[in-house]
Chains A and B, each alone.
Chain A
Amino acid sequence: MAKPRGTDGSLLQSLPWTMSALVIAILPHVPYLPFWITGAFLGCASWRYAVEMRRRPLPSTWTRAGLALVCFLGVWATYSSISGVGPGSALLAIMAALKLLETRRRRDQFVLLFLSIFLVMSSLLREQYIWSLPYLVGSVVVIMTAWLRMAAGEAQTTRRSFMNSGRLILYAVPIAIAMWVFFPRISTPFWAVPVDTSRATTGLSEHMSPGDISELSQSNEVAFRVTFDGPIPEPRDRYWRGLILTEFDGRSWSGSSAPIMSSRARDKIETRGDPVEYEITLEPTMQQWVIALDIPTRWSIPRTYMGRQQQLVHETPIDQRIAYELTSFSDYRIGNDLSAANRRWYSRLPEQRNPRTHQLARELRADAGTDRDFVDAVLRMLNQEEFYYTLEPPLLGSDPIDRFLFDTREGFCEHYASAFSVLMRNAGIPARIVLGYHGGEVNPLGGHLIVRQSDAHAWVEVWLDGLGWHRVDPTAAVAPERIDIGASDAALEGIGETWGFNAPSRLLHRVVMTWDAVNAKWNAWVLGYGPETQDSFMRWLGMENPNWRKMILTLVGLVVGLVMLVSVLLMLRYRPPPRDPAAILYQRFVKKSRIEPRTGETARVFALRVRETGAIPDDIVDNVTNAYLDARYGPDDEQAFKKLKRVVGTI
């Protein structure tokens, strides 16, 4: 074990840069890292810098080993695991900080810069946004600058290093683009990134118990974006089906435990009217549900099937953004008849819950002639009696439907869908709840539709003889405006009102829309560049039957070509200084001497060293050196050059 030596301040030049590179690499991790790791990182960095400033020795091996052990155990204690993105990046960050404490030489700084690059890359495992690209480029510029600062040392100004790093990255851009375009995309990756389980699932909940929610938080996050091939359907017709809830326990609704694949579900659909062709870019939901407009008949998303209730289900949870094309029909009929067993199943209700509702349903059904009349009667009741639409409903207690229908009469879509279904089931009409989205906002710049989490909606499908499963939206009976303009527009109007004037909200709106359009394009073209997009892009480029072999070959060819192009450009730009004939002759002497002149070593000093080696006789060394100096630096070039030629010949 070497005794700790004092630092000599020689790293003062490059250390701040190496540290900045590390800091920039860690920045995107900071929101996810426990506080103590960020603190420890900053502490180690300042410690190391202070050590260099004061020329003090680095901490001893034992101290460092102890710290490493403590930090390792700390990560273990925080995450109770050391694998996965979270603990992995925490370990990487803390070990990089500790590595600073033993950074003594250039080699250690190389390791640190490699670590920075790795940290930057690992931040992409967490999330990829549009600003990830500028961040990546910026951090690579800084890391490269740090690299050059370290390699070139004081021979280069900071500005020069910065420019050089920018130039190097510019040279690399065409190669990076070629790699991105041609590297074969595989639909099933060989590797799986362990995703943080702590990440909350956004999107539709698989349970629904309206009575337990007193305040619905409005999330403005984008759920998905839609591009229509034809005109965009009217707001009232934009029902995006997600999942179906069929079981009711008196208090909350849930779906059947696992979605059952049904080959007959697709066959039961009878379509009428014109199809709607569109493409959906769905944000990751960590759920298996695939959103579609009404009833889809065709979907271009692999490993996805139609469940028994005509919902689309993906085999695995959707953990990355996907884009898929669909064909849907808004005018449709599902099923001709329902078996008695199914009829019972869809009308099941728990015993002795919500008795008043039961009573009401029986009365209304008795008054109505047919099932259809009964549906209309209930809707009429919701519409004409004192029911209110609110996002902040009161809590409902143990018999929530009773309390809602008879006492509070305030709620949002879930309350109405739930109450409506219970009423239907009490009258023996099969009913199921559909969770999905309704409406969406048209982005005039991108021409696409944005559907946000705040557009989430619940409605009901009831079985009516002759009509099959028929969509009924009880919320529309209570708050028609909610259905006609959609939740997002309503929220935006609110902004204008609270601000008291309209102009800023319009401007804000435009900014929001522009940003969304840019994001949508980015998602579609960059992040969504998957196997299908690549395949069609290759075909567009003229590649027949694209496969990974062809793409790899093209890629290799392109990269080699680009590297050669850049090399040729660099060679053309580089003009070697014209070689002096005397210098060329002298070079022969240098070669014969078998030793290399040092930087800044004059011919005379070099001659002394050559004499020491004894490789060339002393008098020849002196003759050549003097003749060279005369020829190269003296006034009489012609004569001196001849002499140099002669004496070099004698070696």
Chain B
Amino acid sequence: MQRSTTLESVPTGRADQRAVVDEARKALGQIILGKDPQISLALACLLARGHLLIEDLPGLGKTMLAQALARVLGLSFSRIQFTSDLLPADIIGVSVFRQESGEFEFQPGPVFSQLILADEVNRATPKAQSALLEAMEEYQVSVDGSTRPLPTPFFVVATQNPGDQIGTFPLPESQLDRFLMRVEIGYPNEESERELIAGEDRRQMLKSIEPVAGPEMLIALQSSVAQVHVSDALVNYIQALARHTRESADVEIGLSPRGSQALVAAARAHAFVENHSGVYPDDVQAVFAAIAGHRLKPSGNTRFRSPAELCQHVLDSVAIP
């Protein structure tokens, strides 16, 4: 599965980098049809060095999105299907005794890839979940007393099925916080669905797609993203949003300072993807539901039925400075 993707030169000019991003968006758009906002969000999440949680019903293309991201960005990919009998060793790897050398040899697990798809992460026991979540936080794993670094860049795309209730271990708020974004995919529109039904098999298409970038390119893009301009007016806006979530009677637990940081980072990446001169309020609004949706705890008697509705209400209540 390991793929060498050393491009001969990594472009540093903004225009060249933009071209790469646009190409990536285009390629992803060919596979995941009619989901441009979600693609932008997923790309922005990776560019902001964040992990992604995709939450939706089965069959809406969660896995496909993760695989396409790995393929298009030229990252090594492995998939871990989370089940209730999954052990931490199944993720991290085990030391095996070699008869011929008389020594233990570490067999790296699937976590040693650049992009991990943790499928149905809420079906595994908290013990297995925490092995992955630790890797996400530390970018390294500890096995048999030694610390092994994970490859760079390292991304986790986890999927979760909100319909499953029995036999699942939903991630607690503190662990949800490790995911920069949570996105929902939703049903495709009529036109896209028609093409999905009648057109080429997406798995086949995926194999034929050429990567548009590689790990080095991605790292270069990430450092460019971190430099996107954030004006004072925009900082005021983000503060106003955070303050509103803390003071609103609809929200029990508002946005933490880490949440505000995440919002800025994601908005930067989104501005980069959208080719804005700086971070615009539009970028903040575009990523707000994905950033804040799983970080806000609505109060008991709120009239909003979903986190997205609540987030939209917050956006509609805060004036843009």
Where the two chains meet, the residues of A that have a C-beta atom closer than 8 Å to any C-beta of B are 8-10, 12-13, 153-158, 160, 577, 580, 583, 598-605, 629-630, 632-636, 640
Contact = CB atoms under 8 A, between A and B. Distances in A.
Interface string B154-174: 000000000000000000000
A63 B9 CA distance: 81
Interface string B243-287: 010011110000000000000000000000000111111100100
B280 A602 contact: yes
In the A-B complex, the 5 residue pairs with the closest CB atoms: A634-B277, A635-B229, A154-B249, A634-B278, A633-B278
A8 B304 CA distance: 11
Given A8-B303, A601-B320, A602-B280, A633 B233 contact: yes
Given A602-B281, A633-B279, A154 B250 contact: yes
B321 interface: yes
A12 B300 CA distance: 12
B231 A632 contact: yes
B301 interface: yes
B317 A636 contact: no
B17 to A, nearest CB: 16
Contacts of B317: 155, 599-600
Contacts of B250: 154
Which of A577, A599, A633 has the most chain B CB atoms inside 10 A of its CB? Answer: A633
B86 interface: no
A647 to B, nearest CB: 15
Given A8-B303, A156-B247, A600 B233 contact: no
Contacts of B278: 629-630, 633-635
A201 B287 CA distance: 75
A580 B319 CA distance: 15
A633 B316 contact: no
A155 B248 contact: yes
Contacts of A636: 277
13 contacts: A154-B250, A157-B247, A577-B236, A599-B319, A600-B316, A605-B282, A629-B277, A629-B280, A632-B231, A633-B279, A633-B280, A634-B229, A634-B278
B249 A13 contact: yes
Given A602-B285, A633-B277, 13 more contacts: A10-B303, A155-B247, A156-B247, A157-B249, A158-B249, A599-B316, A599-B318, A600-B316, A602-B281, A604-B280, A633-B233, A633-B234, A633-B278
B315 interface: yes
A636 to B, nearest CB: 7
A160 B249 CA distance: 11
Contacts of B231: 632-634
Interface string B305-321: 00000000001111111
Contact of A630 (B247, B248, B277, B285): B277
Nearest to B251: A154
Nearest to B281: A602
A155 B244 contact: yes
Contacts of B244: 155
A600 B319 contact: yes
A632 B278 CA distance: 9
Nearest to A577: B321
Contact of B282 (A9, A598, A602): A602
A635 B249 CA distance: 36
Contacts of A158: 249
Contacts of A583: 233
Contact of B320 (A9, A577, A602): A602
Contacts of A629: 276-278, 280
A599 B233 CA distance: 16
Contacts of B234: 633
A9 B300 CA distance: 13
Which of B229, B244, B280, B316 has the most chain A CB atoms inside 10 A of its CB? Answer: B280
Nearest to A598: B316
Contacts of A157: 247, 249
A633 B229 contact: yes
A634 B228 CA distance: 9
Contact of B301 (A12, A155, A598, A605): A12
Contact of A600 (B229, B277, B279, B315): B315
Contacts of A601: 320
A12 B301 CA distance: 8
Contacts of B321: 577
A604 B321 CA distance: 14
A601 B321 CA distance: 11
Interface string B29-47: 0000000000000000000
A538 B54 CA distance: 77
Given A155-B317, A599-B317, A600-B317, A160 B247 contact: yes
Contacts of B320: 600-602
B233 A580 contact: yes
A13 B303 CA distance: 10
Nearest to A582: B233
Contacts of A154: 248-250
Contacts of A8: 303
Contacts of B315: 600
A577 B235 CA distance: 14
A155 B314 CA distance: 9
A476 to B, nearest CB: 72
A640 B247 contact: no
B292 to A, nearest CB: 14
A635 B247 contact: no
Interface in B210-245: 229, 231, 233-234, 236, 244
B46 to A, nearest CB: 23
A54 B247 CA distance: 26
A193 B119 CA distance: 79
Contacts of B319: 599-600
A122 B163 CA distance: 58
Contacts of B279: 633
Nearest to A55: B303
Contacts of B236: 577
Contact of B303 (A9, A155, A160, A635): A9
Nearest to B277: A634
Nearest to A9: B303
Contacts of A634: 229, 231, 276-278
Contacts of A630: 277-278
B277 A635 contact: yes
Contacts of B248: 154-155
A601 B282 CA distance: 9
A518 B316 CA distance: 54
Contacts of B229: 633-635
Nearest to A601: B320
